[in-house]
Structure 1
Amino acid sequence: MLFHFSEQADIEIFVPREKQNRPDFPPVVWAIDEEHEFTYYFPRECPRIVCRKDETTTEQHTQLFFNNSMADTIVTAESDWYSKISNQIIFRYSFENEGFELFDKTAGYYISRHTVTPKAVDTYGNLIERLIQKGIEIRFTTNLAPLREAILASDFKGFGIHRFDNAKR
């Protein structure tokens, strides 16, 4: 199964559409696999940075981005979003894999160029608890910019930066 997360509870069909930050990309329906779905346990507009450790993570990157943590995945969000994350209800739409193609293995993204009808929709609350249950460490900081700059200045590849346009400047 593949999934799409939304703050809307009543989507009956997903029609391919252009991505706002990629006007040169064809209209598609986006989905994510179960392994990576936790990256969407947040309000849609919430800026966040995901760091994932794997067998290719160097000791230097472990010290820089996972210092003093046993977690393989850390998500950092800005403190101002804590209450919104704590109270957010989101909806997980389930899709069959058929008709989707892998777009980004690292992020778990899939795309379909066709209209898709969800097979089910589940309501998700208690998002911070869901992250903790998956073994994800969640951190809060007053400003994401220093972490983003450190990641981009390194050769670390195990990261995702989401909705950074909404982060403090």
Structure 2
Amino acid sequence: MHLYHFSEESDIDIFEPRVKANRTNMPPVVWAIDREHEFTFFVPRDCPRIVYKKAEGVSAEDEAKFFGLSSSDIIMTVETHWYQAIRDAVVYRYTLPSESFEVFDATAGYYISQKTVRPTHREPLTNLIEKLIEMNIELRFTPNLFPLREAILRSTVKDFGIHRFENARQL
């Protein structure tokens, strides 16, 4: 199994467990993501984004609303003012040994370890928009994510992630 950690920092030699700001009820851990879901980090770390996938149980109405005429089963939406930051970003993908990790959220591809972890490889990723396109992930831009978030939360779409929403522009 391939597990990764993504960062805009290029010089991380060791990952120490720490308490995540939005999960203060958890013990300190090192976070990782699996290969299937790594694309959700092909943007700058603080970029707010909503990612959703076609899956069983989505109503015909919601499929038309959220996927429209797209041939992609995965849509990532970000706010328009993040375009240049995404275009110019260099994100480092750290490969982590999987032995000490356990599944935290299989749907999102998140894994955690309570042990210190040394990466086995570091790779700079550039041209992130092109990488998403190559994966047949539709990247959408919108002036504001709030309407989409509210619509997704009220929908039959269940395979979704809302990332770094605290950084979204207020209406």
Does the TM-score normalized on the shorter chain lie above 0.5?
A: yes
Aligned to 2:132: 131
> Quick one: distance in 2 between partners of 1:97 and 1:58?
37
Q: What does the per-residue CA deviation read over 1:56-101, in whole Å, with 9 as the maximum and x for residues that have no partner?
A: 3332221121111110000000000000000000100001211100
Per the normalisation by structure 2, the TM-score is 0.96
Q: What SS does structure 2 have at the residue aligned with 1:123?
A: strand
Q: What does the per-residue CA deviation read over 1:115-164, in whole Å, with 9 as the maximum and x for residues that have no partner?
A: 00000000100000000011100000000010001011223211100011
Unaligned residue ranges in structure 2 (runs of 5+): none
Question: Counterpart of 2:48 in structure 1: which amino acid?
Answer: P
> Quick one: distance in 1 between partners of 2:152 and 2:58?
13
Is 1:5 the counterpart of 2:6 in the alignment?
Answer: yes
Aligned to 1:55: 56
Aligned to 2:80: 79
Q: What does the per-residue CA deviation read over 1:1-32, in whole Å, with 9 as the maximum and x for residues that have no partner?
A: 10000000000000000000111111100000
Q: What SS does structure 2 have at the residue aligned with 1:71?
A: coil
Per the normalisation by structure 1, the TM-score is 0.97
Question: Counterpart of 2:3 in structure 1: which amino acid?
Answer: L
> Quick one: distance in 1 between partners of 2:83 and 2:24?
31
Aligned 8 A contact 2:97 2:117 in 1: no
Aligned ranges for residues 34-73 of structure 1 at < 5 Å?
34-73=35-74
Aligned to 2:122: 121
Q: Give the paired residue count.
A: 169
Q: What SS does structure 2 have at the residue aligned with 1:61?
A: helix
Aligned 8 A contact 2:72 2:137 in 1: yes
Percent identity between matched residues is 55
Aligned to 2:151: 150
Cα RMSD between the aligned structures? Answer: 0.9
Question: Counterpart of 1:134 in structure 2: which amino acid?
Answer: M
